[in-house]
Amino acid sequence: MIFDIIKKRRSVFPAQYNDKPIERETVEQLLEAANWAPTHRKTEPWRFKVLMGEKKIALGKFLSDKYQEIDPKPKQIKIRKLQENPARSGAVIAICMQRDPNESLPEWEELAATAMAVQNMWLCCTEMGLGCYWSSPGLIKYMDEFFDLNDGEKCLGFFYMGYYDEMMASSTRIPIEEKVEWL
């Protein structure tokens, strides 16, 4: 049932992934689920760039090199994490958004639609036993140096994915009654 999947959804980080590869067909299924997200005025602003194999390694190198270039005091642990997270992942999807060139709706609505597309992938990953995590490092503002982005397209982050072995802990939430006002 969808409510159970929603409650089981967790962030599973690249350090927790095992070496089991993710098949291209699995990624294609996730992208198809993303494509059915709600979209105002049917702009369908989500754009994805799938990195597998050597391209993941190149992403890690780019991120760690860029971090060292812009930070006057780079931390070794961060350099290592930027390099290793893509490599540890079965696949990485760059989450991008294509702004409607006519700006027929507010940008936040296109951001929301893109986030809903990612949530569709996240819920499907949960159902498939795949771990995933949306990372939005400050370095995403430099992704036009790594990807060929179209005019009006911007990178919002990375969707790291991988299989994992350990059980995820259950989570809690503040009761919804404390967040709702009935009028």
Binding-site residue ranges: 9-11, 40, 134-136
Say if CB 93 and CB 159 are below 8 A apart: yes
Q: What is the distance between the alpha carbons of residues 120 and 30, in angstroms, rounded to a whole number?
A: 8
Q: What is the distance between the alpha carbons of residues 175 and 127, in angstroms, rounded to a whole number?
A: 25
| Nearest Cα to Cα of residue 168 among 42, 13, 39, 47 | 13
Report which residue type is found at 102.
Answer: N
Q: What is the distance between the alpha carbons of residues 114 and 98, in angstroms, rounded to a whole number?
A: 9
| Nearest Cα to Cα of residue 119 among 61, 39, 37, 182 | 37
Say if CB 34 and CB 93 are below 8 A apart: no
Q: What is the distance between the alpha carbons of residues 14 and 2, in angstroms, rounded to a whole number?
A: 25
Binding residues for FMN: 9-11, 40, 134-136
Helix (H, G, I), strand (E, B) or coil at 154: strand
